[in-house]
Amino acid sequence: MPLTYPLGPRMRLKQITRRTMVFPRKALILFVKYPEAGRVKTRLGKALGPEGAADLYQKLLRRTLGIASDFKLSLDNQADPDLFIFFSPPERKELLKKTCPGPWKFVSQIDGHLGQRMDAAFRDVFGRRYEQIVLVGSDICDLRVSDITDAFRLLTKGAAVLGPAKDGGFYLIGLTSSFGEVFGFDSWSTPSVFERTVRCLGEAGHTVKMLSERRDIDKTEDLIHVRNQPFLCDQVSIIVPFVGKAVQLACLIDLIEAQLWPGDEIIMVRGDVFPEMGLGDITPNTRLLSAPRGRGAQLSHGAKSGKGNLYWFLHADTVPPPNFGYHIRKLSLATDAALGCFELSYGTSRFSLQLLARWANFRTRYLGLPYGDQGFFCSREVFERVGGFKKQYLFEDVDFVRACSKLGKIMVVPQPLQASPEKYLMKGIFRTSCKNHFLMFLYLLGMNDRRLYSLYYGGRSGRGLGGLEQGGLYEN
């Protein structure tokens, strides 16, 4: 009979309180435009051109979506707000849903000036019986998770929250009831908007609580604040090794390209016995290269050809997580981290595979041993300092992690990357897992590559260090 321990009075009170506490229904609204050249950031068009202005807005938008997703991940589920994207133009809904996957509910903005559109958004969401609503713009270059957290914390009955913008407007407004008067003015691009809003709320008896001042990017003189942010200047090279035909990866390429930040690239590296260098472009953002077969060799070859200052090494049989570009760029802000990866998921309700994923995530966080199917990312500088992937075939990921961990910590993104469970289902979950861990143990003991390779593939004829199995996009 298992031992049980009585709960102390404080713990019992906490459990009773959490069961009986009624949390107000909360919603976060993001105001978004589809990043189409000539229709966003038009005042920056003279300095950047229509395409450059649209690219800048897309970066700011993707950063804001990442901030919103981080905010949602940081909260207790019982107080978890719902996230709404109020977007324009209406005909871009499907494109936005594809390029901005995540926990958003998409709602089309009405026609009218900014005040009318914000008023309609608040009325819509209050009509869905939400009690605390915060609305945020999508072009703030220095927005923080704490701004949204503080906004909801400060919202109480009869109070309103405002986040002042440097140009005299506001980047955030939080309300506990619909209040159309504050949005009824026709002028919205003047330096007096913030003061006018504070006065209007005060005259109606609302207590106005302030957040830190932030900066939106609208004018040419604002661009200096973007250039000083490495986060917005980083470029990511996504390197995917595979064997077989590139057409098999069309779906993966489509999923990745839909979420690319401007300037990012995809490098598909095909493993060939007789490699042909520089095979050409698949799409404007995707290049196809050829390298000697072996995942480690292919990854290193792709990295040396990459243009980005950040590398993301992605397996061909995975599904990229939402906002991956934002999460990878956070590595630039983590001064003590040398390597990053995502949590692992197999995208199935099968308990044994869920247990395997939990073990992998535990091992990553507490033992510092993630595997390559969790999507490693690092800076070009770190990659060059450790000498790239030194193992060509097996345990190239473990060897690379051990080298990087000498330079800094491992940053684990609490966002699952979905790996394919196919090899476990085909060969047996328990058997495959035990085999992998046994070979890992032998590798850590120092067994040579040739012997490990022979044990991994069962010593079958026709296998040697000059070739890999052809049974999929990648076997090893």
Q: What's the pLDDT tens digit per position in 270-285?
A: 998 767 666 778 889 9
At residue 141, the 3 state secondary structure works out as: coil
Q: What pLDDT does 269 receive? A: 95
> Side-chain half-sphere of 118: how many Cα atoms within 13 Å?
23
Per-domain boundaries in the chain: 22-227, 234-456
Beta-bridged to residue 90, according to DSSP, are none
Give the bridge partners for 344, in sequence order.
417
Q: Which of 252, 249, 322, 326 is nearest to 96 (CA)?
A: 322
| C-alpha to C-alpha distances, 23 to 50, 75, 130, 147, 231, nearest whole angstrom | 45, 13, 11, 20, 35
22-227 and 234-456, same CATH topology = yes
Burial class (CB within 10 angstroms; exposed 0-12, middle 13-18, buried 19+) of 137: buried
Domain 22-227, CATH class in plain words: alpha beta
Ramachandran category for residue 347: left, alpha or beta (phi over 0 → left; psi -120 to 50 → alpha): left
pLDDT at 5 over 70: no
Instruction: Report pLDDT digits (tens) over 193-230.
Output: 999 999 999 988 889 999 999 999 988 998 998 887 88
Give the chain's mean pLDDT.
Answer: 87
- CATH classification (class only), 234-456: alpha beta
Which tens digit of pLDDT belongs to each residue from 97-144?
A: 999 999 999 999 999 999 999 999 999 999 999 999 999 999 999 999
Residue 469 has pLDDT above 60, yes or no: no
The pLDDT score that the predictor gives to residue 78 is 56
Query: Where in 179-285 does DSSP place strands (E)?
Result: 207-210, 236-242, 265-272, 280-283
A 10 A CB-CB count for 87 gives 23
Torsion of CA 193, 199, 203, 209, to 10 degrees: 100
The label of the residue with tokens 């901005």 reads: 100
d(Cα 266, Cα 246) in Å, to the nearest integer? 13
Neighbours of 190 (CB within 10 A): 12
Q: Which two tokens stand for residue 338?
A: 């040398």
Instruction: Give the tens place of pLDDT for each residue, 314-354.
Output: 999 999 999 999 999 999 999 899 999 999 999 888 999 99
Q: Are 215 and 225 in contact (CB under 8 A)?
A: yes
Residues in the chain: 476
